[in-house]
Amino acid sequence: MWNEHREVHNRLETEPIVWMTTVSAAGKPSTAPVWFYLNDDDTITIYSRDPSVRIRNLEQNPLVTLHLEGNGQGGAIAVLNGAASIERDAAPATANTAFIAKYQSFLDNHSWTPEWFAEHYPAAIRMTTVSVRG
């Protein structure tokens, strides 16, 4: 799959924000921007507040989409479809040094420490991409 979408894969390694859509058991979509990290196995890690709408939705329906920003001219839009699970046994964000390194400047801009982030976003979500549009 990624051979056909190398540019999207490269963007996942560098872009800071994706829009994640989860869907409730009643079929109501919920979309929000999230910080994310592309793992070596091509899964994507996202940390979330818990409780949250996102966590509640994922407990009922694992299907998700991630949307990369476009180029402001109607191009470079990419949508990843997949399934996500809440990784209850995952180490906190502070143990994910690559994630923290990616977002250190964002943490600094908010005056947040990695420990603060891990405390307020304790739920690790892992997404596996099954298809890509764009």
Q: What is the pLDDT of residues 87-109, one digit of tens each?
A: 999 999 999 999 999 999 999 99
Spatial distance between the Cα atoms of 73 and 55, rounded to a whole number of angstroms: 33
Report which of 90, 98, 94, 92 is spatially closest to residue 126, judged by C-alpha positions: 90
Domain 6-133 belongs to what architecture? Answer: Roll (2.30)
Q: Are 73 and 82 in contact (CB under 8 A)?
A: no
Domain parsing of the chain, residue ranges: 6-133
Give the confidence band of 4 by pLDDT, cuts at 50, 70, 90. Answer: confident
CA-based Rg of the chain, rounded to a whole angstrom? Answer: 15
Report the predicted TM-score, pTM, of the whole model to 2 decimal places.
0.93
Report which of 109, 119, 115, 134 is spatially closest to residue 16, judged by C-alpha positions: 109
Sign of CA dihedral 110, 115, 118, 100: positive
Dihedral (C-alpha) 91, 40, 48, 132: value to the nearest 10 degrees?
-160
